[in-house]
A and B are shown apart, each in its own frame.
Chain A
Amino acid sequence: MKPFITIVIKPTLFCNIDCKHCYHTPEDRVKGEISLDRVEKLISMASKEYETAWFIWHGGEPMTLPMSFYKEVIALEEKYFGKNSMRYGNTINTNGTLLNRRFMAYCREKKINIGVSYEGPCSQILREADVEKTLRTLSAKENMYTVGATISKETASRQKEIYQYFRDKDISVALTPVIPAGCGGPYVPDKDEFVKGSIEAFDQWLYDRTARVPLMPFYQYIMNYLGEPVPSDCAHTSCLTKWICMYPDGSLYPCAKACPDRFRMCNIDDISSIDEAFKTEGFRNILVGSIERRDKCASCSIFRYCNGGCSVDAFYENGLENNGGASCESYKAIFGHVSAEIQRILDEKPDMDAYNPFIKEAIVSKLINPKTVSK
């Protein structure tokens, strides 16, 4: 058995609010739901081939499906992986507009993480949705959830403001840029502005002694630098063969971002194991291009941390085989700043009370056990 796979399932591509920057085109976002038979087949195959699996429910808007769908899905996971076996977990990524208290209660009972896409003070720029009340209920009921704030060209310089907004509410937030796929093109942030805004937000969080939430992806960058890479940082963990995505029609792709047809691996109806999907022409196409790009990255000083970055981002920027796109350059600049700060702390060993508790804990544990820290 292989150790771990992340399985993204898009039970529908339909969305109730149609965010402006969506990487699925309006033609893609039509009604139509995945069949439970296909979901069952994928869960069954994963349980036989992998020790553990993390299921991410994505879309479209996954909450446009009734709660009964998720009850049946969780029952299938319990059937194949074993109830309370700790071999599987779930995250549902939603715009939050259709989340109700009943589903929140179900998520608490079944330990389902919720990811809400929301930009707080900049919420009307990319989508017409206000989920403040939903977030208040999630917090009051102590659901496990995080917010994903998508950074556009309008908000690239407001990342610090977005962090402070969620920090004041004790909500963990991830700052993620729009990618130039689907409808995203006009909303992609300027690279320099994005880097400047990200560094401002990081510095704010770094010295925020009373912060009670981690700020993503910077916390992931720190853990990566300290030798503890986080699986959920998919762009920088050599994701191929570790992630798979199923569309409502049963098509399988190596990534949940909008992959072009040439990366389509197969249909779940045509295979009897997940391993077969990773032996198809579509997977070969993304694999060959990624290897070529990573060959070019090998001499880069931060390659061991970024592992060549995201193949789909590269595809939409300079082409799959080429690095040096906006995502590559941004990561270099931001990771460079983050790692320099962490290295300075490791070298100078200053009073750690000046830093936020997450940095403090990560650094102190590394100073106690420095096995993987290196310059």
Chain B
Amino acid sequence: MSYDAESIEKLTAMYESQSPNAFIAFSMEGLPYDSEHAERFDKDADEDHSELTGCDWCCCSDKGYCNSWGWHLCCIGSIVVLIACCCYATNGFFGAWPYWPF
């Protein structure tokens, strides 16, 4: 039998009529229910949430690294300044660095 002359609406109705149960069952089923996921999610919700938001800053990439070279430099600069400050406050790390000039 050729269906070439049939309208798309009639073809769709024909397709559905070939397997009516599939369409009835489907409309009753609706969205798959994943209670297991909900249960697992609820159990550790607070912990998971803090893990996620703890890294949700503009300087961070999706992988948790620096987002750009600028941020890399900023990070390295901060560490250098921090070490210098510690060195100054401890007068050359309590003498461990004898050449500390200040």
Contacts and interface: CB of A to CB of B under 8 A. Distances in A.
What bracket does the count of chain A residues touching chain B fall in? 35 or more
A108 B51 CA distance: 11
Contact of A100 (B12, B18, B63): B63
Contacts, number: 125
Interface stretch (B1-9, B71-79, B85-93): B1-9
Interface in A6-40: none
A294 B18 contact: yes
Interface string B41-67: 101100011011001000000111000
B83 interface: no
Given A52-B31, A304-B21, A4 B62 contact: no
Nearest to A106: B52
B11 interface: yes
B64 A113 contact: no
Interface string B32-44: 1010111011011
B14 A284 contact: no
Nearest to A65: B62
B96 interface: no
B34 A287 contact: no
Nearest to A66: B62
6 contacts: A4-B27, A144-B37, A230-B32, A231-B26, A241-B16, A278-B8
Interface of B: 1, 3-4, 8-9, 11-12, 14-16, 18-19, 21-23, 25-27, 29-32, 34, 36-38, 40-41, 43-44, 48-49, 51-52, 55, 62-64
Interface of A: 3-4, 51-52, 54, 66-68, 86-89, 100-103, 105-106, 108-109, 111, 113, 141-144, 227-232, 237-238, 240-242, 278-279, 283-284, 287-288, 290-292, 294-295, 298, 304, 307-308
Given A102-B55, A113-B37, 6 more contacts: A52-B31, A86-B31, A229-B26, A238-B16, A294-B19, A307-B19
